[in-house]
Amino acid sequence: MRIAQLAPLAESVPPKLYGGTERVIAWLVDELVGFGHDVTLFASGDSRTSGKLHPVWPRALRLGRRGADPNAACTLLIEAIAKRAGDFDVIHSHVDWLPLPVLRRTGIPFLTTMHGRLDLPGLSDVARQFAEASFVSISDDQRLPLPDARWIGTIQHGLPKDSFQPCYEVGRYVAFLGRLTADKGPEDAIRIARAARMPLRIAAKIPRSETAFFKKKLEPHIDGEKIQLVGEVDETRKQPFLAGAAALLFPINWPEPFGLVMIEAMACGTPVIAYRSGSVPEVVEDGVTGFIVDGEEQAIKAVKELARLDRRKIRSRFEERFTASRMARAYESQYRKLIDDASCTERECASKPQRT
């Protein structure tokens, strides 16, 4: 198949540092190319891919020139696929809603993977306006706010089997990995670690918009010993960070659509202690790959129960459920269905008597 992949432009594909969506797209493209498909990636010019790169903006917006207009960049992305739509059998968008008016007019089968939260005002109106558009969710929980959208499947993220090497020795600290925003739960992580008498290492970036939150709520508790901030980690540093942890703390306070860091930890054999919210019950197997808890008190108890879990079993469950190959095969199946459905529709139209 000739497949177009439309990526967000905030980060390169794969991202230099933080960027879960762009990392997933990179893995998906690599797997599809490995299956023998002809894949073109529409992304920033500093992206790297085993497919064919169509650069639509010189550099990822977050690391590029300050003040660049993201709407201008997205406009060029949409224009690029509009001009080249006829080169593809199917178009796969990861850019949410903006390309839909153009994609529906290309005549080419397309689907959109929604990577963010969908419980925002106005989204149901958009979904109704594009009732024929096909959407893929990354968890069943993610789609609940938009039950009337045309969901054709839930495809959970996957990552390359060998991208993280497991460690079967019990770590000496608990880890927090993610953006330092209130809804990710870094304050909870600090309190949990202290109450459980475990060192906490925080690997995270500080968004400009969250500087005040960091200064007021987090920085006073970071002592460099029991509570350490190691900064934003790239793929090379992420491996030992997660593999060396006794557990990943995931005390989220929002409907997380998936939570890529959970399966990254599992790939290392590291258990996950997560609040029961969003996708968590679909990703974590309670008592097997981690513990699903309701609040800080249960999380503290879970830290003390980590010895019950088998890190080899955690790695095994990752390989069974969350590899990039499994993810790509699921998308490949959806592509074929869309193409077959479009062909059937064309044949039905051609077989109908022409009106005079």
pLDDT, tens digit, 9 for 90 and up, residues 13-48: 999 877 889 999 999 999 999 999 999 999 999 999
Architecture of domain 174-319: 3-Layer(aba) Sandwich (3.40)
Residue-range domain boundaries for the chain: 2-160+323-351, 174-319
Tell me how far CA of residue 203 lies from CA of 126, 195, 352, in angstroms: 36, 20, 61
Contact 308, 167 (CB under 8 A): no
Question: Residue 12's beta-bridge partner residues?
Answer: none
The reply to whether domains 2-160+323-351 and 174-319 share a CATH topology is yes
Share of the chain above pLDDT 70, in %: 96
Res 181 pLDDT > 60: yes
Length in residues, the chain: 356
Contact 91, 81 (CB under 8 A): yes
76 SS3 class = helix
Decide: residue 250, CB within 10 A, 0-12 exposed, 13-18 middle, 19+ buried: buried
pLDDT tens by residue, 290-318: 999 999 999 999 999 999 999 999 999 99
115: which 2 tokens? 């990577």
246: which 2 tokens? 């006794």
212: which 2 tokens? 């005040």
**pLDDT confidence of 345, banded at 50, 70, 90?**
low
Residues 229, 133: Cα–Cα separation, whole Å: 43
For position 335, what pLDDT does the model report? 98
The rounded Cα 335 to chain-centroid distance in angstroms is: 20
CATH class of 2-160+323-351: alpha beta
Residue type, 147: P
Contact 124, 148 (CB under 8 A): yes
pLDDT tens by residue, 143-167: 999 999 999 999 999 999 999 999 9
pLDDT tens by residue, 190-224: 999 999 999 999 998 787 888 999 999 998 999 98
Residues 326, 212: Cα–Cα separation, whole Å: 41
